[in-house]
Amino acid sequence: MIAVFSDTHGTEGHCLEGEALTAAREADAIVHAGDFKTEAVLDAFQSFSAPLYAVAGNVDEPGVADRLPTERTIETDGVTIAVRHQPAGGETALAMFGRERDADLVVFGHSHQPTLVETDDVVLCNPGSHAQPRGYRPGFATVERTDDGLAIEQREPDGSTIASTIVDR
């Protein structure tokens, strides 16, 4: 299972609780779409046993931004994921970003709004912010390769489902 986060905006620690914390502890990989804010938060995410695949966000302090790329493409658990913080250009640009990288999934952040959109070629997922939802539901996501395809679930930290989909990929 891949645990997906964004927009922590913390100063100390990962700020995870409930099912979000359980997902991070049990994940085979963790993806974070930026805005840790401080190195202490980035270090807290890196302390989990799963590898962390992260990008820098627009509010990350220089110590964080210097350690992370602004975008990246990874393959883990048979899933290719393109990651960036800002959605610059909206859904069309995000879908193109994913297609250019032959990705199954594009993970992005910035708005703090949990979003799950299926396009013809790629799924777009903003997990939301587990720590500072800014008027939206707090959120994170999980991704698993199943016999039926790619299962993506967005949840609140308490485990409540926000949205889910299974995509044949």
What are the pLDDT digits (tens) for 39-73? 999 999 999 999 999 999 999 999 999 999 999 99
47-70 burial, b at 16+ Cβ within 10 Å, e below that, comes to ebebebbbbbbebbbeebbeebee
pLDDT of 89 reads 87
Residue 51 belongs to what domain range?
2-167
Residue type present at position 155: R
What are the pLDDT digits (tens) for 102-125? 999 999 999 999 999 999 889 999
Report the CATH number at residue 141. Answer: 3.60.21.10
With bands split at pLDDT 50, 70 and 90, how would you rate the model's confidence at 78? confident
* Total number of domains constituting the chain: 1
